[in-house]
Amino acid sequence: MMRKLLMFTVLLVPLAGCYDQTEVEQQSYVIAIGLDKTDDEGTFRITFQAANPEVGSTLSSGGSQEEPRETVTLEGNDLIAAKDTANSVMTKQIALDHTKVVVVSEELARSGEFLRIIQAATRTTELRRSVQIIVSKENASDFLKNNQPLLETRPHKYYQYMLTRATQTGIIPESEIHRFFQITEGDADAFLAIYATTEQTEPKETGNEDQYIAGEIPVEGGNPTQFMGSAVFVEGKMIDILSGQETRVANILDDTMDMEALYSTFPDPKDKRYRIATNFSKDRPTDVKIEYHKNQPTKINVTIPFTIEVVGVPSLVDYSKNKENRKLLEAYIPKLAEEQANNLVKKTQEQYKTDIFYWSLYIRKYFTSIDEYEKADWNNKIYPNAEINVDYKLKQLYFGKMIDDSNLGEVRD
């Protein structure tokens, strides 16, 4: 009897593992969180968008008629506390482990209150550091409601693919919460967040492939959501919007951003009516050299090695075999790129008074202690007065797999 009792007691111990038992089925996986401002300071409108894991899986194909996502908006003071309130509508325990994005309305981002609510959220272990910050032009709740992807209906896959691809092309920055905190707490540089909208504004007529910000792109069909450009955060407060092109330049100038090859067009130097289509790739790191002088302006030299593959010459000018034309193009592309970069650098120096390229990293080695470094004051003293020289170095010029274009005149003959 005694032995049986002892055995029973011992067997009870492993049951302790059941304290935290939660079935996958009993959890609601929130993929996107939306944050909006209300009229009350300290109160926010919080939107949770949960994925329905049944949709799109082979197990339930045919059977399930349920929506792929559930979106709930409510008011609250804190993100985590609002989870429980949301349970008055949503059926299951809300888990934030799989959250992919935090959508912030532009209004909230510009008010500077954003830092307050997001900082509280990182205290929990639930929200990951790899969550991306998206600034939406409209209210975040509207953004999440209007976003109706047609192919990737499951929201977790949608955000994952959408953001990965758009980041690769450089039209939006990488804006992980981790990076946001490192830069904002570092208090030297500005942070770029993804800019997106579901509201089409007056389409911009004259734009080339990346000179838009979200909402201006004249697209027909597809999901109304557009991801393009970036929101500039200085000290946790949004101050400006950059176009897709400027974002690309910022991504190229910032060596801590991963960016793959991107397609871009340049005006044809021989025939201004057409634009040359190219594949721009930066396969070597951007080289940033800073010469720091205490009482003189600091010199910043940035070298960007890149390769260009010409993929289309609509003007049919022979750039591949004609040596003179090739030389012209080789000189022309870096010049144009430098012009774009210099414009952006100038804008950051004059308008933002701080850089968006995380260049403060390169000046740190001149200081031995944090005190000295902070006294030197990157964003008030050093950067706005620095002499910055951006140098694009064309390493190689390719012409695709065709040697020459067929002469349109001869074809029409």
Partner 1 sequence: MFKKESRLGAREGFAMITMMIGVKISNTTPSMFAQTGANAFWLMPLISMSVILPSVILLYYLLKRYKDKNLVELTEHILGKHVGKFVAFLLFVIFFTLLAIEGRSYTEQLKMLYFPESPTPFIFFIFFMIAFYGAKRGLETIGSTAWAFFFYIKASVILLAFLALREVIFARIFPIFGNGLVPLLTEGAKKASLFSDIFLLAMAYTAFDSTKKFRKGVFSGFAFVFLEMTFFFLLYCTIFDYNSIDKVAFPFHEITQYVNMGNFFTNIETFFMIFWLFAALIKYMIYLYLISWIFGAVFNIKEFEPLILPFAFFGIVAGMVPENAVINELVFKSNFMDMITPFLIFFPFLLWVTAKFKGDLKR
Binding site for partner 1 (CB under 8 A): 13, 16, 19-20, 97-98, 125, 128-130, 160, 164, 178, 181-183, 185-187, 256, 358, 361-362, 364-365, 367-373
- 3-state DSSP call for residue 309? strand
Least distance (Å) from partner 1 to the CB of residue 255? 9
Least distance (Å) from partner 1 to the CB of residue 170? 18
- Report the residue number, 256 or 342, with the smaller CB distance to partner 1: 256
Least distance (Å) from partner 1 to the CB of residue 176? 9
- Specify the amino acid at residue 386: A
Least distance (Å) from partner 1 to the CB of residue 122? 9
Least distance (Å) from partner 1 to the CB of residue 333? 29
Cβ-based neighbour number of residue 175 at 10 Å: 25
- Report the residue number, 156 or 270, with the smaller CB distance to partner 1: 156
Strands 299-312 and 132-136: unpaired
DSSP string, 240-299: EEE-HHHHHHHHHH-TTS----EEEEEE-SS-TTSEEEEEEE--SPPEEEEE--SSSPPE
Please say whether the dihedral angle defined by the alpha carbons of residues 150, 151, 155 and 159, taken in this order, is positive or negative.
negative
Least distance (Å) from partner 1 to the CB of residue 51? 14
Least distance (Å) from partner 1 to the CB of residue 290? 11
> Cα(386)–Cα(384) distance, rounded to whole angstroms?
6
- Report the residue number, 263 or 362, with the smaller CB distance to partner 1: 362
> Cα(165)–Cα(151) distance, rounded to whole angstroms?
15
- Report the residue number, 256 or 265, with the smaller CB distance to partner 1: 256
Q: Are 134 and 101 in contact (CB under 8 A)?
A: yes
- Report the residue number, 38 or 130, with the smaller CB distance to partner 1: 130
Least distance (Å) from partner 1 to the CB of residue 10? 10
- Report the residue number, 121 or 308, with the smaller CB distance to partner 1: 121
- Report the residue number, 180 or 195, with the smaller CB distance to partner 1: 180
- 3-state DSSP call for residue 407? coil
Contacts of 74 (CB under 8 A, 6+ apart): 45, 46, 47, 82, 85, 86, 89
Nearest to 182 by CA among 412, 1, 358, 5: 358
DSSP conformation class of 215: T
- Report the residue number, 26 or 396, with the smaller CB distance to partner 1: 26
